[in-house]
Amino acid sequence: MNSPVSYEIVDSIGVITVDNPPVNALSHAVREGILDAIHVTKSDESRAVVILCAGRTFIAGADITEFGKPPLEPYLPDLLNEIEASEKVVIAALHGTVLGGGFETALACHYRIALDSAKVGFPEVKLGLFPGAGGTQRVPRLTGIEAAVELMASGNPIGAAQAADLGLVDKVVSDDLRQAALEYAADLVASGAPIRRTRDLDVEAVDDGVFVAMQAELAKRARGQIAPLKMLEAVKGAVTMPFEEGLLQERALFWELMQGSQSRALRHIFFAEREAAKIKGLPRDATRREIQSVGIIGGGTMGGGIAMSFANAGFAVTMLEIDDEALERGLSIIDRNYGGSVKRGKLSEDQAKTCRDRIAGATDYASLADCDLVIEAVFEDPQLKKTIFAKLDGVCKDGAILATNTSYQDVDAIAAATGRPQDVLGMHFFSPAHIMKLLEVVRGAKTADDVLATVMALAKKIRKVPVMSGVCYGFIGNRMLGPYMREGQLCLIEGSTPSDIDTAMQEWGMAMGPLSVGDLAGLDIGYKARAALPVEERGDPKSYRVSDALVEMGRLGQKSGAGFYSYDPETRKKLSDPAVLEIVEREAAALGIERRNIDAGEIVDRLIYALVNEGLKIVEEGIAQRPGDIDVVYVYGYGFPAWRGGPMHYADEVGLEKVLSRINEFRQRFGDHWAPAPLLVQLVEEDLTLAEWAARQ
């Protein structure tokens, strides 16, 4: 097999070229090839050495196919020490996205030249890790402690110019990087530039109080994730230890994280997100329809956010409303959102104007006649949705894709209102739609393969994370949300306060507690959804007795200024409200419930295992293609902590036997709505994890 690394001498400059498409990842073969080339340079006639990469980027990081496998020599830290120890000047020539181990490789070189379009950074924290090949020791020596910590804690890349300002890059050029790097190397040789080893630089001294303050700030930002704090500990070693000792501590802390549950969970989500984009039985090169123009029906918060998502990605958008007044209201919401994006620095004024100009308004269905994709985003009235799709059937061109943004309703029933059910599917966005990344793509019984392939690919173009769901009430996410919210409200009426429940879940890692989520979404939404269901399908009345009472009092949540909590009209700050506890106690007494103290552990187990149990049913029924798809839905759409890996991964981490035992305990205490999913029972009997079971499917 040919090595992905080549070596040549050009005008007395040794050139090491990495060519390992698509992103020149640091595979074993790449590490071995670079090390071999460095050894050759020790005794050849080269006067300096340039390391550069073919293709679209310099080394973009580790080889993800090697994650979780025993590492092979040469180990990256050892390779980088060899590069740094070279007796000839070594220059890294950077372009593209220079991330993680790729950037650590560059920092082990003596000088760095970069294209002005290059970006550098350390995304490892997003996988529950930190730079483990000398990054925590070398970066502080170049930038100072605070800049180094921020770069590694954020996980976000920075541009070449900013990197140069921080001392991470020595020269920025705008064209022909290879030639510029050769000339730079020649200039360094001609001027007698020293071999500048980062390890030999002194670290800027800082007071212990700086580390204490940074630790407090990182703990607040990390919300339970330990990698940023371990990174800070390693950086502190750069200040308090000699370089070699700092490297040893860094490596020990890195491996502690690599072998821990948080990094396992984050790596699981990393791979699960990529797997979720693949549809079983659908070829990767499946035919796709061309999408250039998009129609949106409904100019409310959701419709406007969807319109912005497409406009931001360069699509022409027509937003349809019922009349001029409603249209003006919808467009004004979009204007405010773009204004907010400019104010927060997310978009420049010119960028915001360009995006906004792509959105046109209309009140006549005929304006959608030439759209390639039309998305209905009106409120959850199944009859209204069917009426709209019948109109679209008569207006839209042949081959147009018709999508419903419904959160719950039967996509097949909506498709049946048309004469082209093969062109219909669900596209369930999450609010605010221009910000939230999840997109549930709901495959109807008659949805054509090319329609599905088109929308899954389109999701990536509008920067969404797509997950396919089959048709059922609530699809994946909202179907699971039902039992989760049920247990939250049962804990409330049985003895907890709203604050008890929300605090328990947030301290466990959820972005928001369930009752705060209810207030944010609007308690009337669930109230109306239940009213549309037959009585026998509404579930245990105890689980919505309190919320229904609040709605009937006009306490709809944040939008009315009061729900499970009261909200300050000026600041919207959430406040516990004694009146709510009076309502809870009144309803409990009416149902003959004797309220009791419920500890945080029970609250968490009841809510999370309710998610797990329903998720297992969804997998078994084939509504979700695989357990990891459910994890992606909950991490990207429902605030589940990524460092716990999603409900399905978390169940495997706890142990399915323990999960089943706890669910059986809840069934004995609370009733048959806690009957365990048959798949859970099967997996425990067969001594299989969900991951093992999924691998066999």
356-374: pLDDT as tens digits: 999 999 999 999 999 999 9
Segment 111-115 mean pLDDT: 98
Dihedral of the alpha carbons of 278, 284, 289, 294, in degrees to the nearest 10: 30
192 and 326 inside one domain:
no
417 and 442 inside one domain:
yes
243 and 311 inside one domain:
no
How far apart (Å, rounded) are the C-alpha atoms in residues 226 and 128?
A: 7
366-398: pLDDT as tens digits: 999 999 999 999 988 899 999 999 999 999 999
Residue type, 258: M
- Per the domain annotation, does 268 fall within a domain? no
Structure tokens at 296: 């949106």
Question: What pLDDT band is residue 564 in, cutting at 50, 70 and 90?
Answer: very high
Segment 606-621 mean pLDDT: 98
- Per the domain annotation, does 400 fall within a domain? yes
Residue 543 has pLDDT above 80, yes or no: yes
Strands (E), 385-496: 401-404, 424-429, 438-442, 465-469
Dihedral of the alpha carbons of 650, 655, 659, 660, in degrees to the nearest 10: 140
Dihedral of the alpha carbons of 650, 651, 652, 656, in degrees to the nearest 10: 160
114: phi then psi, degrees, rounded to nearest 5? -140, 145
470-524: pLDDT as tens digits: 999 999 999 999 999 999 999 999 999 999 999 999 999 999 999 999 999 889 8
pLDDT at 546: 94
Residue 399 has pLDDT above 70, yes or no: yes
Q: How far is CA 340 from its chain centroid? A: 22
443-456: pLDDT as tens digits: 999 999 999 999 99
25-37: pLDDT as tens digits: 999 999 999 999 9
- pLDDT > 70: what percent of the chain? 100
The domain boundary, picked from 422, 448, 469, lies at 469
Segment 538-560 mean pLDDT: 91
Residue 64 has pLDDT above 90, yes or no: no
Structure tokens at 403: 């999508």
CA angle 345, 640, 410 (to 5 degrees): 95
175: phi then psi, degrees, rounded to nearest 5? -160, 150
244 and 332 inside one domain:
no
**Cβ–Cβ under 8 Å, residues 627 and 648:** yes
Whether the full predicted model's pTM is greater than 0.75, yes or no, is yes
CATH of the domain at 542: 1.10.1040.50
Question: What pLDDT band is residue 249 in, cutting at 50, 70 and 90?
Answer: very high
How far apart (Å, rounded) are the C-alpha atoms in residues 388 and 410?
A: 15
Bridge-based pairing of strands 13-18 and 5-10 is antiparallel
- Per the domain annotation, does 287 fall within a domain? no
pLDDT at 525: 83
- Per the domain annotation, does 83 fall within a domain? yes
CATH of the domain at 338: 3.40.50.720
Structure tokens at 391: 């109109």
How far apart (Å, rounded) are the C-alpha atoms in residues 649 and 631?
A: 7
- Per the domain annotation, does 397 fall within a domain? yes
77-98: pLDDT as tens digits: 999 999 999 999 999 999 999 9
pLDDT at 48: 97
Which residue is it, tokens 């973009």? 60
How far apart (Å, rounded) are the C-alpha atoms in residues 676 and 659?
A: 10
DSSP string, 286-344: -------EEEEE--SHHHHHHHHHHHHTT-EEEEE-SSHHHHHHHHHHHHHHHHHHHHT
138 and 252 inside one domain:
yes
Segment 20-24 mean pLDDT: 95
- Max distance between CA atoms of the chain, in angstroms, equals 92
331 and 453 inside one domain:
yes
- Per the domain annotation, does 66 fall within a domain? yes
Residue type, 608: I
Question: What pLDDT band is residue 1 in, cutting at 50, 70 and 90?
Answer: low
193 and 302 inside one domain:
no
Bridge-based pairing of strands 401-404 and 373-376 is parallel
Residue 532 has pLDDT above 80, yes or no: no
423 and 536 inside one domain:
no
CATH of the domain at 116: 3.90.226.10
Domain that holds residue 125: 5-258
Q: What are 508's strand-pairing partners?
A: none
pLDDT at 453: 97
Residue 405 has pLDDT above 90, yes or no: yes
Question: What pLDDT band is residue 329 in, cutting at 50, 70 and 90?
Answer: very high
CA end-to-end distance (rounded Å), the chain: 33
The domain boundary, picked from 469, 488, 515, lies at 469
Cβ neighbours around 144 below 10 Å, total = 15
Which residue is it, tokens 């760095």? 112
How many structural domains comprise the chain? 3
Where are the alpha helices (H) located in 344-448, listed in sequence order?
349-356, 382-395, 411-415
194-211: pLDDT as tens digits: 999 999 999 988 888 899
- Per the domain annotation, does 70 fall within a domain? yes
416 and 443 inside one domain:
yes
238 and 331 inside one domain:
no
Q: How far is CA 482 from its chain centroid? A: 23
Question: What pLDDT band is residue 669 in, cutting at 50, 70 and 90?
Answer: very high
178 and 197 inside one domain:
yes
- pLDDT > 90: what percent of the chain? 89
- Per the domain annotation, does 279 fall within a domain? no
The domain boundary, picked from 469, 487, 503, lies at 469
302 and 421 inside one domain:
yes
